[in-house]
Structure formats: structure tokens, C-alpha cells
């Protein structure tokens, strides 16, 4: 384990992330490296493999991102200064750089807010576009029961977390991390999510 970490030039925290991922998937750090090493290349792993291990997930798997309602509304309503990163993230999902998810209850929230703020036509168009881009996470009784026990102050936010946990998302993308205090999921801004995808961000 120490030799692998040394060869990859990983910081201790990065090694810990890789080991945590490995424990969840029954693999050690060496196996994660071999899983991601290009066939026929026995030498040092590519930089993106080193980066992936430092983040705690394999380079070959797309990031799974649960997109919070406020990020989606930033795009639809072109809210400044957040629209640039939010739009960039949805564009990255559209291009297959990551897998995007939306909680089922968030679909109606987006429609309601856009219709109230703008008009019904834009609301319908926005929801239709989002349904084509993102995978809807349906929430059932067990998910809502789980949300009740998460200790997140707002139940709607807790339900977002429950959706995130249901699909095993790598991050919940939001610009209101304080709303999710104590949530057992990684929280990222749209800009941070873009950074994970190697696409930068303006935040």
C-alpha cells in the first residue's frame, strides 16, 4: 500500500480517500490502479488515474451528481452571478462528462417557481428540457422516512439528501450548503463540480 501511494505521489488524505472507496467496493489501492491502467501500459498510471484516486473514485466511472433545485433555477431564470457555472455544469452533463440526477419532488418545484416568476410556457419548456437531461429519482415511503431521520432542518432539503443517498451520488450540487448542515453526503457548488470534471468554474 505504501509503495503504491509513493509511486502515485499521493498525499495521505488522498490515500485515505482511495482506501475508503476501496473498502466500499472490496478493492485495495493497488487494484484500483490496475483497474484504471490502460491495457498494455505497465508503467506509471496516467495523471487522471492519480487524480481520480486522490478524489476517491475510479477514473473510468462518471461522476454521479444530484443537482439541487437552486442550481436548476439559476440556469432557467438566468440568475446572476451563478448562471455561468450552473449552465456549464448542465452542459457537461449533456456532453456525457457526468451523470445528472434530479429528485422527483424537485421537478414540480422547478415548474412552480418558474411559472410564478415568469410564465407557464417557460416552466413547461424548462421541465421538459430537464427531464431529457437528468434522471429523475423517484422517492417512496422509505426514502421520506429516511429523510425524516437525517437531522436536516428543512424537510425538502432532507428529501434531496435522501434522493442523493438512494442513487449513490458522489455529490449533491448546491449553492446553499448551510441548508444541508449535518447531511451525510458530499456537498459541492456548481463551480466545484466543474473542477472535479477538469472544466474549471468561475466561483
Residue 32: pLDDT band (50, 70, 90) is low
> For position 200, what pLDDT does the model report?
60
> For position 140, what pLDDT does the model report?
94
Half-sphere exposure of 103 (CA within 13 A, CB side): 30
In a domain, 18, yes or no: yes
Give per-residue pLDDT as tens, 89-102.
999 999 999 999 99
68 shares a domain with 50: no
How much is the average pLDDT of 131-150?
95
Q: How many domains does the chain have?
A: 2
In a domain, 157, yes or no: yes
Q: Which string of b and e fits 178-203 if b means at least 16 CB within 10 Å? A: ebbeebebebbbbbbbbebbebebeb
* 3 pLDDT higher than 50: no
140 shares a domain with 84: yes
99 shares a domain with 177: yes
85 shares a domain with 45: no
**Percent of the chain's residues with pLDDT above 70:** 68
Residue 166: pLDDT band (50, 70, 90) is very high
How much is the average pLDDT of 141-159?
94
In a domain, 201, yes or no: no
Residue 42: pLDDT band (50, 70, 90) is very low
Residue after which a domain boundary falls, among 55, 82, 97: 55
Q: Are 110 and 72 in contact (CB under 8 A)?
A: yes
Q: Give the three cell numbers for residue 154.
A: 428543512
* 59 pLDDT higher than 60: no
How much is the average pLDDT of 52-58?
53
pTM of this structure: 0.69
> For position 93, what pLDDT does the model report?
94
List, in sequence order, the alpha helices (H) in the chain.
Answer: 2-8, 12-25, 29-36, 47-55, 69-76, 83-94, 104-117, 120-133, 141-148, 155-167, 190-196
* 8 pLDDT higher than 60: no
Residues in the chain: 203
Residue after which a domain boundary falls, among 16, 32, 55: 55
In a domain, 202, yes or no: no
Rounded to an integer, what distance in angstroms lies between the CA atom of residue 67 and that of residue 172? 6
How much is the average pLDDT of 97-117?
95
Residue 30: pLDDT band (50, 70, 90) is low
Query: Which one of 1-5, 48-52, 101-105 scores highest in mean pLDDT?
Result: 101-105
Q: Can you give the residue range of the structural domain that contains 167?
A: 63-196
Residue 198: pLDDT band (50, 70, 90) is confident
150 shares a domain with 72: yes
Amino acid at each position: 500500500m505504501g509503495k503504491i501511494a509513493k509511486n502515485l505521489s499521493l498525499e495521505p488524505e488522498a490515500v485515505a480517500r482511495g482506501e475508503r472507496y476501496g473498502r466500499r467496493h472490496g478493492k485495495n489501492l493497488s487494484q484500483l490502479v490496475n483497474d484504471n491502467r490502460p491495457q498494455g501500459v505497465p508503467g506509471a498510471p496516467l495523471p487522471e488515474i492519480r487524480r481520480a484516486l486522490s478524489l476517491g473514485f475510479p477514473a473510468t466511472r462518471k461522476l454521479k451528481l444530484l443537482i439541487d433545485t437552486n442550481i436548476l433555477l439559476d440556469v432557467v431564470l438566468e440568475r446572476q452571478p451563478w448562471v455561468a457555472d450552473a449552465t456549464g455544469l448542465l452542459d457537461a452533463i449533456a456532453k456525457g462528462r457526468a451523470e445528472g440526477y434530479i429528485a422527483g419532488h424537485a421537478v414540480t418545484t422547478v415548474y412552480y417557481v418558474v411559472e410564478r416568476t415568469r410564465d407557464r410556457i417557460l416552466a413547461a419548456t424548462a421541465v421538459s428540457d430537464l427531464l431529457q437531461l437528468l434522471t429523475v429519482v423517484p422517492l417512496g415511503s422509505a426514502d421520506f422516512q429516511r429523510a425524516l431521520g437525517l437531522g436536516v432542518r428543512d424537510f425538502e432539503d432532507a428529501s434531496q439528501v435522501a434522493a442523493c443517498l438512494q442513487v449513490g451520488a458522489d455529490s449533491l450540487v448546491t449553492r446553499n450548503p448551510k441548508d444541508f448542515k449535518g447531511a451525510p453526503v458530499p456537498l459541492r457548488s456548481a463551480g466545484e463540480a466543474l473542477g472535479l470534471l477538469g472544466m474549471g468554474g468561475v466561483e
